[in-house]
Amino acid sequence: MIFNRLKQQDLGLLFAVITLIGIGLVVLYTVTSSNQTGISTTFQKQLLYGFIGVIFMGIAAIFSPRVHYTFAYLFYIVSCLLLLGVLLWGDETKGAARWIDLGLFSFQPSEPAKIALVLVLARYVTDKKYDPRKPLHIMGTIAVTFIPLTLVLLQPDLGTSIVFAAILLAMLVAIGTPFSYLLLMITPICAALASVNTIVLLIYIIVIILFAWGMHMRMGMLILLIIANLVISLGTPELWNQLKPYQKNRLISFVNPEADPKGSGYQVIQSKVAIGSGGFSGKGLGRGSQTQLKFLPEQHTDFIFSVIGEEFGLIGATGVLALLFWVVYRGFHAALRTKGKYSALICIGLSIIITVHIFINIGMTIGIMPVTGLPLPFLSYGGSFLWTIMISVGLILGVGRRWKEYTP
Amino acid sequence: MLGGISLIAFLFLWIRLYQLQIIQSDKFQARSEANSVRVVEELPGRTLICDRNGRVLVENRPSYSLSLIPYEAKRNPHTISELSIILSRPQSELQALTQNKGLPSYQPVKLARDIDFHTLAAFKAREFHLAGVSYHFDPKRFYPYSVAPHTLGYIAEISESEKKKFPSRKTGDIVGKSGIERQYEDILAGRKGYHYMIVNALGQITGEIEDKYIPPRRGGKLYLTIDLDLQILAEKLLAGKRGAVVALDPRNGEILAIASAPKYDPEVFTGVLRSDDWQKLQNNPDVPLLHRAIQSGYPPASTFKMVTMTAGIEEGLVDEEYRHDCPGYYRLGRIYHCFKRDGHGELTPIEAIEQSCDAFFYKLGHQLGVEKIAHYMKIFGFGSKTGVDIDNEIAGIVPDKQYLDKRYGAGKWSKGLAINISIGQGEILVTPLQLAQYCGILAMKGLKARPQLFLEMHQGNGEVFQSKPEITHIDIKPATFEVLRSGMRLVLSGEDGTAKWLDDPRWHLAGKTGTAQNPHGDDHALFVGFAPFEDPVIAVAVIVENVGFGSTHAAPIAVELMTRYLEISEVPQIVAEEEPADSTGDSASDI
């Protein structure tokens, strides 16, 4: 019976996931264990997390989408309460309160909140009354997203809030929100980035206006767009001053990591050196000098991809990238095949979570994204995140194997 | 659409990976190596310096110094406070050392040189808590006999200006600063070896890339021409005086002894030079740092008379028949006194040298004029550097027409100056080394050898370099030398010789005394000499400042040095009673 069950599953996706966790464990073993200290507790913990993660994935796959469709709002409310709780009672590490101590272990409520947001948005927009053309309805999705986003931003956790924003955007695109509304939402963010330089900002505003004009946007919409852009771009310098110094440093060092090579740019430089020096075929497992001599920081968490790049070279990095892409691809594939609108949307949302993590994390290690502290799915050390991703895969599997059924 | 965006995102990541790992791979590989490989120098140990018989004059003693990488100190603030306790120096002082002038912060800075074993042990005990601190072996010179500090020179940390001279050296390296140490820096320093150490991000050494190791080329032994026994004796004889002694082998220019007094303790410059020691040496009125044998100019006084005589004979003014009746003075406009006020009576040229009659040379000088005297001075090597192989040698002064015109204005100087010059007084300045070379030329009848200190270099790998004597012959007739040398022999052997009580029955010695009048104080005593008379093996010049007569203060030093050297080198002694039978025979008949 178990075999029959397994046969129904997306075996390719399962294989990719298990392989990626295996690679993560091997790399973790080489960077944390040595002949002197023996097998590290870090490795043992992650091995345990992996097993638990597989069980969670299985459980998530068992349930029909109908189940979480029903409980989506409940999940969402519980998640928001946990996020509020972590703000009030959480442990502070590195100037950010992200953890809840549950005695046996501690976990980050922002991780399951990602899933909860996907579920609640999917549920909200699949409501029969939802009209993607009504601004009020769009405002609803924004409001739903902004509650957890604000709570996470207050921790402060810039990376996770970017993930939340990405989920919202993906859902709106998937549900068929008119392009002009999307433009109205995205452009202020670009305006914020452009506000660092007055000339850049001016050019940007002109480009936006010409673009909107060319699309024959309605006049009211156009004025709204311009006002939104102006307000945000003028308000950004104020907001900048509100950022924590380490956040500012990370953003600055993203723009120019060599500006402070021993400070916040250090991580990115060392990571680029590690990956670049790996070359085509890498230095070999356990032979990466950047890794083994500890020049590479956070090598078992945020910068684990740098270890892969250094020790396995372009071949290994491409292989890992291909496996990660396969996972995402199967997510979208499930979304396309399923008959339920809600089911499709959660597959898209969950795949977007995985994609955004991959892009931001790997982008950070190769110097095209700022250091935001987002881990790499399946590979980075850490229980809460691994489980979140495993549950996401489980939910995708749950949708995928029911593609013939009529689900919400 | 979203799937498409995801695919593009993945492709974007992959393109960037390709760029880093393939296109820019070389650049990052180099940086990765620079990150983790630290080059550690292995000092070769400086070449030993020996005397001509292999006795070690300068050797090496182990010395340890402590360095700190400023960047590590910044990361670990406790380092400075712990070092402050270990070195018993204030934190502020150490802090100041780490904040250095524009050097990269990962370049180690020397905190302390020549630390004692107690300090080293205290550091070793805490080594693993002090990231970025390391100790190094430094060459420290040790002088078993404490001889010839001026000539051997000293070593110290390289200065900015010296880096141009030695482009392969860098800050913190030790180089020769003076004397032999500077002259032969290239061969004395050997060549550094390099270890390629693997370090981790904390700067701790975790291993070595052994196939990249370059061993140092160790220095061997540098043999100097100096004879330690003679050098010690020379310094002993000059002890408590101011002056200089040079003894050389006239056949090849090898310097057997070269001493300057007062001397200083060479140990002052090893280890850390304390500023009060330096001040004491700098401010001493006797200028102990001055190498008088090559850096001080003296009037040669009567030791110069052989030059005037040479000019006289070569210019045809004097021959064997020439006689001068000395009334005790010479008159030219005014009275020039001979040192013997009641006169020498009638003298042959040889007797004039023997008895050092001033009046004889006054007349000769007057007839010759400054230009002719200057011409012959230059032939004997005066007025230019001898080219000895240590630096800061001075050329001295030859008062030729050009010089006097410059000094007094063209034509404004009296022809009478030649009279003073003829007896080695006045504007003439010569170094003791030039005098010794001059004496060697007289001893060898015209063979002129460049004085040198380098004898042999024995490389660590067994190679041997030998010095070649640089010898020229000066253009003076052999007959002239007969007169000059006979006169010098009579100075010691003649009845009226100015140093006759110093003659040694075992060998025939020859020489010339000199007493230089000095407007600033007592007279300088001088002596030049060579021995044995027949086949000279040593030529000596002695100058003692402000003591009086050359015959009583300089000649005994020179004679003791010459006889000691003849003893050491076992030069055959003459048969007794052969002494009066001199080559000229003149002295006997003149009694």
Which residue type occupies B174? I
Interface of A with B (CB under 8 A): 170, 173-174, 262, 270, 272-280, 289-290, 293-295, 309, 313-314, 317-318, 321, 324-325, 328-329, 332, 336, 348, 351-352, 355, 358-359, 362-363, 366-368
Q: Do A277 and B25 touch (CB under 8 A)?
A: yes
pLDDT at B302 (0 to 100): 93
The CATH label, of 3.40.50.720, 3.40.710.10, 3.20.20.140, 3.20.20.70, for the domain at B228-264+296-589 is 3.40.710.10
- DSSP single-letter state for residue A34: B
**Chain B partners within 8 Å of A122 (Cβ):** none
In this structure, chain A runs to a length of 408
Contact B558, B511 (CB under 8 A): yes
Greater confidence (A9 vs A77) lies with A77
Domain that holds residue A192: 8-400
Nearest-Cα distance to chain B for A321, in Å, is 7
* The total number of structural domains that make up chain A: 1
Helix, strand, coil % over all residues of chain B, rounded to 5 = 40, 20, 40
pLDDT at A105 (0 to 100): 62
pLDDT in 10s for each residue of chain B, 591 residues: 777 888 888 888 888 888 888 888 888 888 887 777 777 777 777 889 999 999 999 988 878 888 887 777 777 778 888 888 888 888 887 777 777 555 556 667 777 877 888 888 888 888 777 777 878 777 688 888 989 999 999 888 788 788 777 777 777 778 888 899 999 888 888 777 888 877 776 666 777 777 778 888 777 889 999 999 999 999 999 999 999 999 999 999 999 999 998 988 887 777 666 667 778 888 888 888 899 999 999 999 999 999 999 999 999 999 888 999 999 899 888 888 898 888 898 999 999 999 999 999 999 999 999 999 999 999 999 999 999 999 889 999 999 999 999 988 888 888 888 999 999 998 899 999 999 999 999 999 999 999 999 999 988 778 888 888 999 999 999 999 999 999 999 999 988 888 888 988 899 999 999 999 877 788 999 999 999 999 999 999 999 999 888 888 999 999 999 999 999 998 888 875 554 544 444 443 333
Q: Do A279 and B29 touch (CB under 8 A)?
A: yes
pLDDT at B583 (0 to 100): 47
Within a domain: residue A359? Answer: yes
The mean per-residue pLDDT over the stretch A1-19 comes to 80
Which chain B residue shows the shortest CA-CA distance from A322?
Answer: B10
Contact B446, B481 (CB under 8 A): yes
Contact B48, A397 (CB under 8 A): no
φ, ψ at B583 (rounded to 5°) = -65, -30
Cα three-residue angle A284-A289-A294, rounded to 5 degrees: 125
- Which of A146-160, A248-262, B369-383 is the least confident region? A248-262
Beta bridge partners of B247: B257, B540
Interface test with B, best of A293, A323, A327, A328 (most B CBs within 10 A): A293
List Cα–Cα distances, A328 to A146, A370, A393, B57, B415, in angstroms. 25, 23, 9, 80, 111
Q: Residue with structure tokens 């004029």?
A: B369
| Predicted confidence band of residue A5 (pLDDT cuts 50, 70, 90) | low
Where in chain B are the domains? 38-224, 228-264+296-589
- Whether the complex's predicted ipTM is more than 0.90 is answered with no
Strands B193-199 and B205-208: antiparallel
Q: Where are the alpha helices (DSSP H) in B265-357?
A: 275-283, 292-295, 305-314, 349-355
The mean per-residue pLDDT over the stretch A299-326 comes to 92
pLDDT at B45 (0 to 100): 77
Within a domain: residue A1? Answer: no
Greater confidence (A316 vs A102) lies with A316
Within a domain: residue A341? Answer: yes
Kind plus residue range of the DSSP H or E element containing A192: helix A179-194
From CA A337, how far away is CA A316, in angstroms rounded? 31
B499-536 in b/e form (b: 16+ CB < 10 A) is beebbbebbbbbbbbbbbeeeeeebbbbbbbbbbbeeb
Q: What is the CATH number of domain B38-224?
A: 3.90.1310.10
pLDDT at B520 (0 to 100): 79
Contact B182, B153 (CB under 8 A): yes
- Which of A173-177, A283-287, B509-513 is the least confident region? A283-287
- Residue A167, CA atoms < 13 Å, CB-side half-sphere: 33
Contact B241, B261 (CB under 8 A): yes
pLDDT at A301 (0 to 100): 85
pLDDT at B308 (0 to 100): 95
Please tell me which of the candidates A174, A359, A362 has its beta carbon nearest to residue B2. A174
- DSSP single-letter state for residue B369: H
Please tell me which of the candidates B28, B36, B200 has its beta carbon nearest to residue A272. B28
Greater confidence (B322 vs A216) lies with B322
Contact B223, B455 (CB under 8 A): yes
Q: In sequence order, what are the residues at sequence separation of 6 or more whose Cβ sits closer than 8 angstroms to the Cβ of residue B247?
A: B230, B234, B255, B256, B257, B258, B436, B538, B539, B540, B561, B562, B565
Please tell me which of the candidates B29, B198, B199 has its beta carbon nearest to residue A277. B29
Among the listed residues A372, A335, A153, the one whose alpha carbon sits nearest the alpha carbon of residue A247: A372
**Chain A partners within 8 Å of B1 (Cβ):** 173
List Cα–Cα distances, B61 to A234, B139, B209, B271, B538, in angstroms. 72, 7, 29, 10, 35
Please tell me which of the candidates A173, A280, A324 has its beta carbon nearest to residue B21. A280
Q: Do B21 and A295 touch (CB under 8 A)?
A: no
pLDDT tens profile A260-279 = 555 557 788 888 888 998 88
pLDDT at B591 (0 to 100): 35
Please tell me which of the candidates B14, B20, B33 has its beta carbon nearest to residue A276. B20
How many A-B residue pairs are in contact by the CB < 8 A criterion? 115
pLDDT tens profile B209-262 = 777 788 887 778 899 999 999 999 999 999 999 999 999 999 999 999 999 989
Please tell me which of the candidates A290, A318, A321 has its beta carbon nearest to residue B32. A290
Which chain B residue shows the shortest CA-CA distance from A288?
Answer: B32
Nearest-Cα distance to chain B for A365, in Å, is 10
Question: How many helices and strands in chain B, by DSSP H and E?
Answer: 23, 23
Kindly tell me if the per-residue pLDDT of A27 is higher than 60. Answer: yes
Contact B362, B336 (CB under 8 A): yes
Maximum alpha-carbon separation in chain A: 71
Which chain B residue shows the shortest CA-CA distance from A281?
Answer: B21
Question: How many helices and strands in chain A, by DSSP H and E?
Answer: 16, 3
Q: Do A348 and B10 touch (CB under 8 A)?
A: no
- Residue B201, CA atoms < 13 Å, CB-side half-sphere: 16
From CA A9, how far away is CA A244, in angstroms rounded? 46
Token pair in block for residue B562:
């010459």
**Chain B partners within 8 Å of A309 (Cβ):** 17, 20-21
- DSSP single-letter state for residue B549: -
Interface test with A, best of B1, B19, B21 (most A CBs within 10 A): B21
Kindly tell me if the per-residue pLDDT of A292 is higher than 90. Answer: no
